[in-house]
Structure 1
Amino acid sequence: MKKMALILCIAMTAAMFTGCSKNTDSVAAKQGNKEALNTIRIWHDGDKAMIQLMEDHLNEALSDDGINVKFEQKSGLTDQIKLYGSDEVNGPDLYMYAHDSLGMFVEMGALAPITDVIDKTVYADMLPMTLKAGNYKDAQYLMPVYFETLLFIYNKDLWEGEVPSTTEELYSYMKNHTDATTGTYALVNQHSTAYNVAPFINGFGGFIINEQAKPGLNDKKTMEAIEYNKKFAKLEADGDYNTVNALFKDGKAAAIIGGPWLISGVKEAKINYGIKSLCDFKLPNGNTLVPYSGVQGVGVMKHAAETKKDAVEKVLKEIAEPQLGIDLAENSRCAPANQKSYENPTVSKDEMIAAMRKTADTAQPMPNIPQMSVMWGPAESLLAAVNKSGKDLNSVADEYQKQAETAIADMQ
């Protein structure tokens, strides 16, 4: 009997110490350990210089509160959050990432709405589009930080006259200034990449997938947009990412549709470039081109919303301040989510940022539902079939619509 009691005592003691070793942060937080409560770990996969700017900004602003913010870069962030998003010890307190993965993280139960921590008034100055990007099933899960959109980037030394204001005028210019035999183009675009064709699809009132997770590849308006884009595709080289970028940087194309991620390469090529918002181009139906937008935002893990609420609240409030957006714009040329950041003349006068700010009034955030992840394949297969293989749209749209529906059904 004594031997059994001794064994039980040893086992209980071992379990107690094992539990302590695994849950040091959790226990410390629950017992009021101030250092643990005020240390906020944020996982990200962003640019190191930009993230360092954010970390320095937040720690300086929150130093009087004793809050220490630590950004930790993670490769394969989506998979890392799948593994550790609900792990209070090994996972993050917050994460910063593109908004289109939001639905997946919410459905796996890792996130708390940011309204569990802050009042809605904290993010009242954010651009509506950026808030929509971080909203899932009528709950706000992301504090938007900055966003990106596709742009019309042109070589001022090659483009003749004013840049047109309608897509039909643009098409006429392309016909008159494109010669595939000599490898010179007026405009190049990734014409069979769904993200790059979305401005036409959205502008025609079509959709790749809607909020109810219904694919729209055979929707009448989507098909009208794809057919309309086809005539542009014939004048835009092969549509491959590397091809179109090389053509523009080598001075073989006068313009390109692309995002801010191209600008560093354009500068290195010493191109005298200009930028125009895609919403400055009007379609034949009277609507403008309507690109997708990607929004970088900060989300809160459920455990942090409970055990570190006070510190998380202060971090989110500081992220929402316009000054952070100004700093990111001035140093990394990010387009701030906070509308008040644009009151700063340096921000408002930046040609690229101003173009994205203008586009934000009409741009659509990429769908953040989990089903969007399986839509790129069928959508781009359809575009390639039409633009590259020359197949009749009416004969293949239903085929790829069914592929999309099957892929979504297989997610269940």
Structure 2
Amino acid sequence: MVLVLCIVMAVSIFTGCSRSSQSVAAKQKNKEALNTIRIWHDGDKAIIQLMENYLNEALTDDGITVKFEQKSGLTDQLKLYGNDEVNGPDMYMYAHDSLGMFVEMGALAPLTDVIDKNVYADMLPMTLKAGNYKNDQYLMPVYFETLLFIYNKDLWEGEVPSATEELYSYMKSHTDTAAGTYALVNQHSTAYNVAPFINGFGGFILNEQAEPGLNYIKTKEAIEYNKKFAQLEADGDYNTVNALFMDGKADAIIGGPWLISGVKEARINYGIKSLCDFKLPNGNTLIPYSGVQGIGVMKHAAKSKKDAVEKVLNEIVNPQLGIDLAQNSGCAPSNQKSYNTSSVANDEMIAAMRRTADIAQPMPNIPQMSVMWGPAESLLAAVNKSGKDLNTAADDYQKEAETAIADMQ
């Protein structure tokens, strides 16, 4: 019996040790899971790698690991897994214009569920507006972009004008369509590229009440005004206008910062001017749309990983991250304090976008905007390329837009 008791006691001791060891391992695994933040994205690899390195270094002492995971078809992926705590992300980084859709599907938590609003007080107002939906802030803005006037200094004659009418005069005297050379090229039938005229005239593609404005009088005035520029801007196709500028057959182009790497590769001696430096006949400036890249928090992560998420967001608003993104990737930071650094403030492209940010309109982030691009661009093509009557075409595509919105209900 003594022998049996000894064996039982030994087994109990070893079993207890095993269970204790398993318990410690389980706790450690759970802690690691709570301190690992997965962020889905579909962004530029260099930008994302910079952000991942920055955040992981900044959060080392907190034991927090940030993993960015690239997803093709991010919108569809978030529709499937946005509410899935096991298979979905904890946060996501994406352009702001799809925000409303994700909020309406119940996937996102307001930032104020995790942090105090004072944390993002230094962000540019336009970038905050982009991430705000129904009076709640859902996106922490990181950087933004706007259209720019990019010109070839070796081709442009004299000073770049400060009024659109002066610009048009220059175009008339420096464009030879027969020879295939142009003063200025633009995607004249792409809604995003015509938005500076539409917004500047007081028109709108879609307002905050989800009402289309294709046949609104101010929108039509803008489209009519843009038409005379379009007649001197080649066919308006993305590839065509880019090739003309890169090949030195166009003095200038209206495009975004995404063109600059190609411009540099083509060894073009380029200059940049903000669109807000061009005044329209009505006294307003051109007012482009802006796209804002921001980070949102999934609703489940705001509860189960609140502490870790809070620390990540506090590092995202650090001005140094904006400085690093500007210096290494040419991004225009959302944090106003990042511009206190001379290398950021004196960068020609970033400085132009910073000025534009004061008047730019963030693209509408309500779900209905997704069905507006088609009718808007069909209207522009009908007027600029097919020569259809503006009033008739505007009424037709207004009805098409209204039907598309109604079908979303």
Q: Shared fold by TM > 0.5?
A: yes
Which of 220, 225, 228 lines up with 1:228 in the alignment?
A: 225
The superposition leaves residues 162-198 of structure 1 with CA deviations (integer Å, 9 ceiling, x where unpaired) of 0000000000000000010000100000000000000
Partner in structure 2 of residue 216 of structure 1: 213
2:116 to 102, 111, 119: 119
**Is the 8 Å Cα contact of residues 150 and 258 (structure 1) preserved in structure 2?**
yes
Q: 3-state SS of the aligned residue for 1:33?
A: helix
Deviation, 1:316, is 0.3
Go from structure 1 to structure 2 and tell me whether the alpha carbon gap of 1:135 and 1:32 turns closer, same or farther (over 3 Å shift): farther
Aligned to 2:20: none
Aligned match of 2:192: 195
Contact conserved, 1:29 with 1:307, CA < 8 A, in 2? no
Q: Determine which of 179, 183, 200 is the counterpart of 2:180.
A: 183
Contact 1:223 1:393 survives alignment (8 Å): yes
Give 1:35 deviation, angstroms: 1.1
Q: CA deviation at 1:30?
A: 11
| Worse overlay, 198-207 or 33-42 | 33-42
Give how far 1:153 is off. 0.2
Q: 1:29 to 1:112 in 2, by over 3 A?
A: farther
Partner of residue 83, structure 1: 80
Counterpart among 297, 300, 303 of residue 297 in structure 2: 300
Match of residue 150, structure 2, among 149, 153, 173 = 153
Q: Distance in 2 between matches of 1:30 and 1:381?
A: 58
Moved more, 387-396 or 254-263: 387-396
Partner Cα distance (1:301, 1:395) in 2: 45
| Runs of 4 or more above 2 Å deviation | 28-33
Give the TM-score taking structure 1 as reference length. 0.92
Name structure 1 gaps, 5 residues minimum.
1-27
Question: 1:44·1:74 contact (CA, 8 Å) conserved in 2?
Answer: yes
* 1:7-406 matches, cutoff 5 A: 33-406=30-403
* Preserved contact between residue 206 and residue 216 of structure 1 (Cα < 8 Å): yes
Deviations 1:23-72 (CA, angstroms, capped at 9, x unpaired): xxxxx999993211111000000111111110010010011011000000
Contact (CA 8 Å) 1:152, 1:278: kept in 2 or not?
yes
Q: Deviations over 1:96-131 (max 9, x none)?
A: 000000000000010000110000000000000000
TM-score by length of 2: 0.93
**What CA distance in whole angstroms lies between the structure 2 residues aligned with 1:341 and 1:247?**
35
Distance 1:31 1:211, change over 3 A: farther
Root-mean-square deviation (CA), in Å? Answer: 1.3
* Cα distance in 2 for residues equivalent to 1:57 and 1:385: 48
How many equivalent residue pairs? 385
Q: Distance in 2 between matches of 1:99 and 1:356?
A: 17
Q: Give the Cα separation in 2 of the matches to 1:395 and 1:194.
A: 18
Alpha-carbon contact 1:206-1:225 (below 8 Å) kept: yes
**Which residue in the other structure is 1:12 paired with?**
none
Once the two structures are TM-superposed, the CA of residue 395 in structure 1 deviates from its matched residue by 1.7
